[in-house]
A = this chain, B = another copy of it.
Amino acid sequence: MRYPNDHKDQARRDIVAAASERLRKDGISGTGLRTLMTDAGLTHGAFYAHFQRRSDLVAQAVGFALEQTTEALAARVAKAAPPDRLRALIDSYLRPVHRDRMEIGCAAAALAPEVARGDPSAREAFAAGVKGFVSLLEPLLPRGGSPAKRAGRAYAIFGGLAGALQLARAIPDSDLSDRILVSGREAAMAAATADWIGD
């Protein structure tokens, strides 16, 4: 063969990694196959040697992006002392650089509405990726509450973080945008540490 045995696998991984950035940057329906392949250093014709259709790459790229974000945040969280880890996660998520660099940030904040409109494969990959993030967040919540309650709260907080980040990105007034990040951290902490009621 022309290439080492693992060449094709590596190329596929390169395409997925490059696409995960480009899709976050320009949106799912705002990006064409030629752009995605050029980003990976290939020509568009090679695409169908790696994926059956465009939506397969989209699903894999969405999943990859969420895994990457969860890993990066997990590393930051691990550096904090245990009692500070919840705050470290929230502050890391809502920090200015995350607002300013959408292409390497959370895929939920960059793509959630497009995923919601998208086909099932992207939604499944998205759900799995979000589940991974929630698995990082949920153990950091204060003790108490049923497993279902705790998980629900973790999902809601994650959604809230992503929504606050989106707002900070969309608002052109940069002072207001900064204040949204700060208030978003306080709001997320309040939601995370609220007493468990009912059940």
Measuring CB to CB, which residues of chain A are less than 8 angstroms from any residue of chain B? 25-27, 29-30, 102, 108-117, 120, 123-124, 126-127, 130, 148-149, 151-153, 155-173, 176, 179-180, 182-184, 186-188, 190-191, 194, 197
Contacts and interface: CB of A to CB of B under 8 A. Distances in A.
Q: Which one of A111, A152, A156 has the highest number of Cβ atoms from chain B below 10 Å of its Cβ?
A: A156
Given A29-B29, A113-B27, A113-B113, A155 B170 contact: no
Secondary structure of the A contact surface, majority rule: helix
A151 B165 CA distance: 16
A10 to B, nearest CB: 30
Nearest to A198: B186
State the oligomeric state as a number of copies.
2
Contacts of A165: 159, 163
Nearest to A111: B113
Closest 3 CB pairs between A and B?
A163-B163, A160-B160, A152-B183
Given A153-B186, A170-B127, A172-B124, A180 B159 contact: yes
Nearest to A127: B171
Q: Which one of A162, A166, A172 has the highest number of Cβ atoms from chain B below 10 Å of its Cβ?
A: A166
Nearest to A182: B152
